[in-house]
Amino acid sequence: MQNDSLQRQNIDIKILTGEEILDIYTTHSIRHFPEDERKPVSSIQRMTAEGIYTGYGLYSRIESGALLGYAFFTVLPDHGGCLLDYFAVMEDYRSHGIGSLFLQYIKSSFRDIPGFLIESEDPDYAENPSEYSVRCKRLDFYERNGAVFTGIRASVFGVPYRLLFFPIQSTEKFSPEISSETLPEPVSPETVYSNFCSIYRRMVSPEAYQTQIRIFPREISLGKVAPTRKTGGSGRGL
């Protein structure tokens, strides 16, 4: 599963097995994601066993197959919903375009869905200027690579996010001026909202869904959001 850009850069991408997903998650996520965004390992195991969790690994051909990055997704095949759950490039390989290359390859791998959702930490709720800058850079990264803000925000286990959509199918129908006001079917804000709800109903327990998942259509403010516990939140990092 390669393309010309990857071949030229001596990079391989592979679909990960369940064991490889768990190994990468337990080994690297502690460095790449804050505690309140890391799920219990048991959640990853359950979703993998249910067939709704998949992952990609980015590897170097030159450096003895060193892991360069990883991406984990929650996918609901019957529903059409797909969420980028974790995305990270290893520290030594950042700022070299690898993350963008990785995203574009992933885009070419998903052929049967309109696109996938991305949660990106909301800069409006950063606790300090440094965190604000990091969150803005992360949003800018996703948007440079084609993601658009849906106008929907969410609080997941106390972590405030903006929901982005990364289009895959029929790129001709996505104009450069696309925004949360012009998202066409089947990726309207209403569909984004429905897919996000369906995904989290599968990802967490009914009790956690009722108490820890809050979704705010369009530009409704989240108000004051305080973390309520330190496990179970999904996260993305670069």
The answer to whether residue 236 is domain-embedded is no
Do the beta carbons of residue 21 and residue 217 sit within 8 Å?
A: no
Please tell me the predicted confidence (pLDDT) of residue 64.
75
Residue 222 has pLDDT above 60, yes or no: no
Q: Helix H segments across 16-128?
A: 18-32, 41-50, 98-109
The answer to whether residue 174 is domain-embedded is yes
Q: Using 50, 70 and 90 to split pLDDT, how confident is the model at 4? A: low
Please tell me the predicted confidence (pLDDT) of residue 188.
78
Average pLDDT over residues 62-87: 89
The answer to whether residue 233 is domain-embedded is no
Please tell me the predicted confidence (pLDDT) of residue 62.
82
The answer to whether residue 237 is domain-embedded is no
Work out the percent of the chain whose per-residue pLDDT is above 90. 58
Residue-averaged pLDDT of the chain: 82
How are strands ordered across the β-sheet holding 11-15? 11-15, 53-60, 67-76, 81-89, 115-121, 159-167, 148-156, 213-216
Q: What phi and psi, each to the nearest 5 degrees, are found at residue 166?
A: -105, 105
CATH number at residue 113: 3.40.630.30
Please tell me the predicted confidence (pLDDT) of residue 233.
35
pLDDT in tens, 167-212: 886 544 433 344 444 454 446 778 888 899 999 999 999 999 999 9
pLDDT in tens, 78-129: 777 899 999 999 998 888 889 999 998 888 787 778 889 999 999 999 999 9
The answer to whether residue 222 is domain-embedded is no
The answer to whether residue 62 is domain-embedded is yes
Please tell me the predicted confidence (pLDDT) of residue 170.
53
The answer to whether residue 21 is domain-embedded is yes
Q: What is the domain count for the chain?
A: 1
Residues 6+ apart with CB under 8 A from 86: 25, 29, 32, 33, 70, 71, 72, 234, 235, 236, 237
Domain that residue 145 falls in: 4-216
pTM of the model: 0.82
Residue 130 has pLDDT above 80, yes or no: yes
3-state SS class at 158: coil
The answer to whether residue 225 is domain-embedded is no
